[in-house]
Amino acid sequence: MISTRDVSMRFGGLTAVSDLNIEIQKNEIVGLIGPNGAGKTTAFNAITGVYRPTEGRVVFKGRDITGQKPHAITKLGIARTFQNIRLWTDMDVLENVLVACHLRMDVGVFASTLHLPGYRVKERRSREFAMSLLESVGLADQAREAATSLPYGKQRRLEIVRALATEPSLLLLDEPAAGMNPQESLELMDFIGSIRDRYDLTILLIEHHMQVVMGVCTRMYVLDYGVTIAHGTPDEIRRDPKVIEAYLGVD
């Protein structure tokens, strides 16, 4: 599905990510963990086109997408959420999802301004799709509320829904459980599993919350100072001395 081949990301003298080799098969849920500053989000940014990798290539569905623009990569089917929630503050919940629907609507500025018949049909379909997505996460009742007035956990869900509205085949989640209480985290685990099945997704997620990662991922990669120090099943990772060292600081 997606693979990164020796992807390195350097900022001046700092190597944020070096020789990252991730390989994910279709419908897998894979975790990317590591201590703060390990380069996890940088890896995401290199995959989604926010940064152009200094070295290496990113291959998605057999196609080299290295250095493409973020919106082009989203169009190919990679969607993401952000560590610090990035909803559009001046829009309501539904509009937030509708903007993401625009990508697949394929209408230009004239067709949409003139509200041509073709546009109207697409707009109506987008609204129905957006509402069905919101319904599936229990946000339909709040569709007309300001996105930022939602409680934190729901804002996170809305971000995931917004990403789903671009109809991706690969979903990158950047700390989806950040700031959630244990109950919400548990719900989130179920939710991630269910969207994978319902929308036929492949998921790569960054998470600090070990219970969530271990519970939902089939495989995981561990980064430390930009270097991949381990990868394997949750059980293997839990026993890996290098991982324990990185997290607990054994000397």
Partner 1 sequence: MKIKRNTLLTLAGLALLVGAIAAADATLGRFSVRILNLSAIYIVLALSLNLLNGFTGLFSLGHAGFMAVGAYVSALLTMSPAQKDMNFFLEPIMPFLRDIQLPFPLALLAAGACAGLVAVVIGVPALRLRDDYLAIATLGFAEIIRVLITNAQSLTNGAQGLKAITKYSTTWVVWSVAALSVVFMLALVRSSYGRTMKAVRDDEVAAEAMGVNVFKVKSTSFVISSFMAGVGGALLGHMITTIDPKMFTLTLTFNILLIVVLGGNGSITGSVIGAIVVTVLMEALRFLDMPMNFLFIKTNGLPGLRMVIFSILLMIVVLYRQRGLMGNKEFDWDGFIGIFRRKGASSAGGRS
Q: In this complex, which beta carbon is closest to partner 1, that of residue 51 or of residue 237?
A: 51
Q: In this complex, which beta carbon is closest to partner 1, that of residue 130 or of residue 246?
A: 130
- Residue owning tokens 């629907």: 101
- Identity of residue 64: D
3-class secondary structure, 37? coil
- Give the residue, chosen from 23, 54, 70, 83, that forms a contact with partner 1 under the rule CB under 8 A: 70
- Give the residue, chosen from 30, 100, 192, 230, that forms a contact with partner 1 under the rule CB under 8 A: 100
- Give the residue, chosen from 119, 142, 156, 171, that forms a contact with partner 1 under the rule CB under 8 A: 119
Q: What torsion, rounded to 10 degrees, do the Cα atoms 54, 231, 237, 207 define?
A: 40
Only one of the segments 29-37, 117-125, 179-187, 238-246 lies at the binding site for partner 1 (rule: CB under 8 A); that segment is 117-125
- Identity of residue 194: S
Only one of the segments 18-26, 57-65, 76-84, 236-244 lies at the binding site for partner 1 (rule: CB under 8 A); that segment is 76-84
Q: Give the list of residues 6+ apart from residue 39 with CB closer than 8 angstroms, or none.
A: 9, 16, 17, 20, 223, 225, 226
Residues of this chain, 143-162, that bind partner 1 according to CB under 8 A: 162
> Alpha-carbon distance 166 to 243, whole Å?
35
123 contributes a contact to partner 1 by CB under 8 A: yes
Structure token digits, residue 139: 């946000």
Q: In this complex, which beta carbon is closest to partner 1, that of residue 105 or of residue 244?
A: 105
Give me the long-range contacts of 185-194 (CB less than 8 A, separation at least 24): 185/209, 185/211, 185/212, 188/156, 188/212, 189/215, 189/216, 191/137, 191/157, 191/160, 192/29, 192/216, 193/29
79 contributes a contact to partner 1 by CB under 8 A: yes
* Minimum CB–partner distance for residue 220 and partner 1 (Å): 23
Q: Which residues bind partner 1 (CB under 8 A)?
A: 48, 50, 69-71, 74-75, 79-80, 82, 86-91, 95, 98-103, 105, 107-109, 112-115, 119, 122-123, 126, 162-163, 165-166
